[in-house]
Structure 1
C-alpha cells in the first residue's frame, strides 16, 4: 500500500497543509478518454466492463498514465451492491442504470440480507491488479454509494429528478425502508472492507442525493447509516482514511462530519467557500470543488477558478478535485492544463 510519506494525497488526508495540493478527478476514468472508449467498445455492456478485471484495471490505470494524478479511483459503479443483494441490474444504452424496483415488503423480501461476495469477486481482483501496477506514491481509492443514494435507485428502479419515490416510501413505511437501509449498511461495509483487504488505501462514500433530504431526514437516512458504515470499517481497518461526499448538503456538512466521523469531505461546486474555510476545513481536510463545466470550457476562466480555489483552501489540508464527475466531452487539453495549473 502507498505510505503517507510517499503520497501527497495521503498526506493531505492526514491533515497536512501542502504548498501544492494533490489532484484527482471524479470520473477520471471515462468517456472523455479515447483509450477508455476503445476498451468500453471491446467490453460490450457496462457491467461487463465493471466485472472484467482485465478491462476494469486497464481503465482505472489509464488516467494515471496520461495525467499522473495523485490518486487512482477504482472503476466500478455504486449499484453493484444492490446487484450483489440479488436485485436485477442492467444498463440501458443512452439511458443509464435500470433495476427491478423494490417498492413493497414482497419485493424487499426477495432481496438478500447480505451481499453475495462471489458477485463482487471480480471487483476485488481488479483492485489487486491495479494496486500491483500503481506507482508507490499514487493513492488508491475504493468506494461505495451511501445507503440513502443507493436506496433511491433501488426503490424507483432508475435515477429520478427529486428522489420522490424513495421519499414517499420512507414516509409511508419508515420501518420497511429502514430494513432496506440496514441491508445496504451491512453490504456496503463488507464491500469496503474487502476492497481495503484487496489493496485500496482510502475509501470514499458517495451520497450523491444527500442534498434532497430535509434536516431531520438527513440525520436519519444520511448521517446515521453512514456512521454505521464508518464504524464497521474502522473496527477492521482503523488506519484507513474515509472520505464522505454528501453532495448538496451545504450547511449541514459540519453536522455530517460530527455525526459520521469521516476523515475528510468532498465539496460540491455550489458551496460557499468562506463557509468551507471557516466551518468545514477547520474540522477535516476538504476535497473539491471545481465546476466540471468550467473545466470543459477551459480558457482564462479555468485559470482564474483554479487560482481562486487554491487561494480559498490552500491554507489548510486540501485535495483538488471537481464538484462532480468530469463531463464526457471535456477536451483532454483542458485536463492537462488543469493539472499543470494546480501544480504550478
Structure 2
C-alpha cells in the first residue's frame, strides 16, 4: 500500500501531513559527516552506490521521515552530457568547459555516468519499508543551464541571462539538450524504484515574466509531458524557487502534480492562488529551523493551518542548513506529527 507521502502527492486529503526535508541527507547529520570523512569528497560519495544509499537512508533511520530523497546532485546531468564536474572545497561546484565560451556541440556525452545513480535508487528502495516513499530528482533546465553556461553558480546568473537575450537560438539548444537528458534521467530513476520525482529550479526567481514562461515553464512542461507519457502514475513535484507571483502560472501550465513553495511565499496566499485541490509542499524558513524555539512551533502550525483545506506535504522552503541542531528537527517532527486537520 502507498504511504502517507505518496497518497498525498496523488491528491489524497489526509488528516495527518507527511514530512520530508529538502537536503535532509547531508551535513547537519553527524553520521553523514563521519561517512564523508571516511570516504572522501562529495562526488566520490555520489558514485559510491553503497555510501550514497546509506546516506539517503540516514535521515529515515534517525527521524522516520515519510520520504527518502536520493543523495545526488543536480549537476549529474551536465556531467553526463560531457562537461567535467568538480566540487572544490569552500567554493562549490565547477563545470568545464563553460558554454558561454564553447559550443554545445563540443561536448561528448557520457551517458554511463547516470547508471550508478540508478543503482543507488535500487539499493535504497530495497531497504525502505512500504510506507516510505523513494523520491528521485533532477535539476530543471534553466537552473542546470546557468551552471553549464557560467561554469559555476552566481547570485544573479548574469552571464546566462545575458546569453539567453543575446543568442536565444544557441541558448534554446542548450535547454533542449538538457530537457532530453533529464527525461531519460528521471525515467531511469523511476524504473529503478523512485515512486515520485522532484524538479528543482533553484534560480527560477531571477527571470522576468516573459523569460520565465520561455525558460522555466515551457521546458518543465516538456519534461513533465514526456515523463508522464512513460510513467503516468508517478507524481512529479515542481519547485520553482523564487517564482513569487508567477507560481500559479507555473502550477497551471507545467502539468506537475504538486508544487513546492519557498519560504518567501505567504502560505495563505498560495493556498488561495494555486489550482484547487493541487497538492502543495513547503514552506517553513530553513533559518527558522536553525533558530528553533517557540517561533518555530508557531510558524510550523501556521503553515499547516494555511494548507488545511488541500493536500499538503510539510517541508522547508529550501534545503536544511548544515548547522541546524538535531533537536530542532526532532521538535519540528513532533509538531507536524501531532497536528491533525
Q: Counterpart of 2:224?
A: 230
- Give the counterpart of 1:118 among 109, 112, 115: 112
1:82 Cα deviation from its structure 2 partner: 0.3
Any idea what the Cα deviations from partners look like across 1:281-300, whole Å, max 9, x if unmatched? 62510000000111111110
Any idea what the Cα deviations from partners look like across 1:113-136, whole Å, max 9, x if unmatched? xx5331111111100000000011
CA distance in 2, matches of 1:247, 1:73: 18
Asked if 2 retains the 8 angstrom alpha-carbon contact of 1:102 and 1:108, the reply is no
Q: Counterpart of 2:87?
A: 91
Q: Which runs of 5+ in 1 are unaligned?
A: none
4+ aligned runs moved over 2 Å, structure 1? 101-107
CA distance in 2, matches of 1:210, 1:96: 19
Q: Counterpart of 1:27?
A: 23
In the superposition, the TM-score normalised over structure 1's length comes to: 0.96
Q: Counterpart of 2:326?
A: 332
1:109-148 to structure 2, matched below 5 A, reads 109-112=105-108, 116-148=110-142
- Give the counterpart of 1:292 among 269, 286, 289: 286
Asked if 2 retains the 8 angstrom alpha-carbon contact of 1:105 and 1:176, the reply is no
1:274 Cα deviation from its structure 2 partner: 2.2
- Give the counterpart of 2:36 among 40, 62, 68: 40
* Change in 2 beyond 3 A, CA 1:42/1:209: same
Q: Counterpart of 2:249?
A: 255
1:325 Cα deviation from its structure 2 partner: 0.3
Instruction: Specify the SS of the correspondent of 1:248.
Output: coil
* Change in 2 beyond 3 A, CA 1:105/1:155: closer
Asked if 2 retains the 8 angstrom alpha-carbon contact of 1:78 and 1:145, the reply is yes
Instruction: Specify the SS of the correspondent of 2:215.
Output: helix
In the superposition, the TM-score normalised over structure 2's length comes to: 0.97
Asked if 2 retains the 8 angstrom alpha-carbon contact of 1:281 and 1:317, the reply is no
1:286-325 to structure 2, matched below 5 A, reads 286-325=280-319
Which deviates further from its counterpart, 316-325 or 279-288?
279-288
Instruction: Specify the SS of the correspondent of 2:315.
Output: strand
1:105 Cα deviation from its structure 2 partner: 7.2
1:145-184 to structure 2, matched below 5 A, reads 145-184=139-178
Equivalences, count: 338
CA distance in 2, matches of 1:315, 1:204: 23
Q: Counterpart of 2:78?
A: 82
CA distance in 1, matches of 2:56, 2:163: 36
- Give the counterpart of 1:206 among 171, 189, 200: 200
Residue 254 of structure 2 corresponds to residue 278 of structure 1: no
Instruction: Specify the SS of the correspondent of 1:343.
Output: helix
